[in-house]
Chain A
Amino acid sequence: MFDAISGFFLDLYEKTGLNFNIFYDEFEYDRVLAGAVTSLELMAWVICLSIVLGVIGASLQHMGSRTLKGLVEAYVQVFRNTPPMVQLLFFYFGLGSITPQVDMGGYNEPLISSFAWAVIGLSVFGAAYNVEIFRSGIESVPRSTLEASESLCLTKWQTNLHIVLPLAIRVSLPSLTANVISLAKTTSLVYVISVPEMTYVLNQIWSDSMNVPEMIFVLFLFYGIVIALIGAVFSLLERKLRIPGFGQ
């Protein structure tokens, strides 16, 4: 891959002055590749974990006790109404300052790495939105459908699993897609806790090589493509789950 493109970009640099050094300098190329992989890994973790936490939160609100409902509601409101950047700083620096260090033979490593804090912080942030999305999905299942299930002697769990969940997921999917995309974009924010993902890495490269416009172009392109791909995956999912005659 590198060998195939490096000639072109070196040529481009010499002829036009457009310095895409990440495509002809092997060291920078590897750095960017690692940054892209970190970004994608972070997105995958955060999307999955925030959905799992969202489902758990919405289920607790659906079935839990009053206290539990209140706690989930408080969590949702706190994380929706405070800056995600400060949340990350609070997790990484604040809570990070009281989590234990592990002796790695000579030097100390924090038990929870900055990448792990990024996953935790962003998942907890994104899940606050997902709880509300899934909750409105659950509430969209008509009372009468639940009565029908009750009349057929399904237990509460069977009803939740076989009736409420499949319907709620389908109703929630469009809002979930929007939130997942927004969350994928928000991963760039972990720059503030120095996770070497795409934004961080390209920022370092343009500081070293003074090729800001070119690297910013790459950044736009990277997020544009990733967002388009995530959007495509979710609209495929939406099509797969579509039921003839239901919704729309």
Chain B
Amino acid sequence: MIRDKVHARSSVLLMNVTRIRWQHVVGAAVLTVVALAATLILQSEPESPVATLVRWMPFILEGFGLNLVMSFLAMLLATLLGVPLGVAQVSRVYLVRTVAKGVTHLFRNTPWLVVLFTVMYVMPMTVDLGLTRVDISDWAKATLAFALPVMGNISEIVRGAIVSVPTGQWDSAQGLALTRRQTMTHIILPQCVKRSLPSWMNWYALLTLATPMAAILGVREAVGSAQAAMEAGGGRPDFLIPFYLFLLCLFFIYIYPIALLTKALEKKHAAS
């Protein structure tokens, strides 16, 4: 019976792995077809929008690399800041609890773009570290800006997960003479990891989908690069649809498998 269950679960995961592969194959196929079509019309004058797109594709993909780097770093930062903030939200010290709640809600209730403007304009361009002065580049600032709203939401996820652990576990840990800190790190938080994983992944997807906002402030990520490429190619209006469509596809190919995996984990979690 138990083995059946395990088997069923693993088959769910397997199914998803195959689905992801299938998506990749289709994505690659679409790109190949686009590339082939483009080479056929590459010589024609004036250059077709698709041909321009293909010519600039490496440049846009390089920009997309920056989107990914920003998403990884921002997620790391958001997790490192958000988990302690979430733990602080259930602190027994009134002041700590209140401040943590205030910070969490502030960043949960403010639009990403407003946080981005704040960090961009309010943070200094250079930081004096005593011996050396460090220039903070725009993309690093943007990364910090994207981390903050996610930090607020991770904080809330962690708080929810901690609260949902049955109080009996706190009692029994106390019965074993564990301190509050030991109980939190050894008993409570490990359980929260599994519970929160789907929400955490969902926030990673939302974060990645927010990274194009960096283009507003001149960061050369995928959207900024695409806009620069359209400009360089002559700024013709017939570029707009293929270029933006390509950007949509680019993000979709990356995010959709993550969304599928998140859903599979959610189902697995609901089943257990």
Contact = CB atoms under 8 A, between A and B. Distances in A.
Q: Do chains A and B touch in the complex (CB under 8 A)?
A: yes
Nearest to A186: B111
A228 B117 CA distance: 22
Interface string A86-107: 1101100111011000000000
A93 B244 contact: yes
Interface in A35-86: 77-78, 80-86
26 contacts: A77-B256, A77-B259, A81-B251, A82-B252, A82-B255, A83-B223, A83-B248, A83-B251, A85-B212, A86-B212, A86-B251, A89-B223, A90-B247, A90-B248, A94-B240, A94-B244, A97-B241, A98-B241, A188-B112, A188-B114, A191-B216, A199-B117, A212-B122, A220-B106, A220-B110, A224-B109
A199 B110 CA distance: 11
Interface in B104-156: 106, 109-114, 117-118, 121-122
Interface string B84-119: 000000000000000000000010011111100110
B47 interface: no
B223 A220 contact: no
Contact of A81 (B111, B211, B241, B255): B255
Contacts of B241: 90, 94-95, 97-98
Nearest to A200: B113
A94 B210 contact: no
A10 interface: no
Of the listed residues A82, A83, A95, the one surrounded by the most CB atoms of chain B closer than 10 A to its CB is A83
Interface string B207-225: 0011111011000000100
B156 to A, nearest CB: 11
Contacts of A228: 109
Given A81-B255, A81-B256, A223 B248 contact: no
Contacts of B122: 212-213, 216
B237 interface: yes
Interface in A177-218: 181, 185-189, 191-192, 199, 203, 206, 212-213, 216
B259 A81 contact: yes
Of the listed residues B110, B210, B211, B255, the one surrounded by the most CB atoms of chain A closer than 10 A to its CB is B110
A167 interface: no
Contacts of A146: none
A192 B209 contact: no
Nearest to A189: B113
A80 B260 CA distance: 12
B205 interface: yes
Interface of A: 77-78, 80-87, 89-90, 93-95, 97-98, 181, 185-189, 191-192, 199, 203, 206, 212-213, 216, 219-220, 223-224, 227-228
Contacts of A97: 237-238, 240-241
Contacts of B223: 83, 85-86, 89
Contact of A87 (B112, B118, B237, B248): B248
A227 B216 contact: no
A124 B131 CA distance: 52
A81 B209 CA distance: 8
B245 interface: yes
B111 A223 contact: yes
Of the listed residues B209, B210, B215, the one surrounded by the most CB atoms of chain A closer than 10 A to its CB is B209
A185 B109 contact: yes
Of the listed residues A82, A186, A189, A219, the one surrounded by the most CB atoms of chain B closer than 10 A to its CB is A82
Contacts of A223: 109-111, 114
B111 A185 contact: yes
Contact of A203 (B117, B205, B237): B117
A227 B259 contact: no
Given A188-B113, A224-B106, 8 more contacts: A78-B248, A81-B209, A90-B244, A90-B245, A95-B241, A186-B111, A192-B216, A223-B110
B109 A227 contact: yes
Interface in B221-253: 223, 237-238, 240-241, 244-245, 247-248, 251-252
A199 B251 contact: no
Nearest to B113: A188
A236 to B, nearest CB: 18
Given A77-B256, A189-B213, A223-B111, A82 B117 contact: no
B164 to A, nearest CB: 15
A84 B117 contact: no
B209 A93 contact: no
A234 to B, nearest CB: 14
B113 A224 contact: no
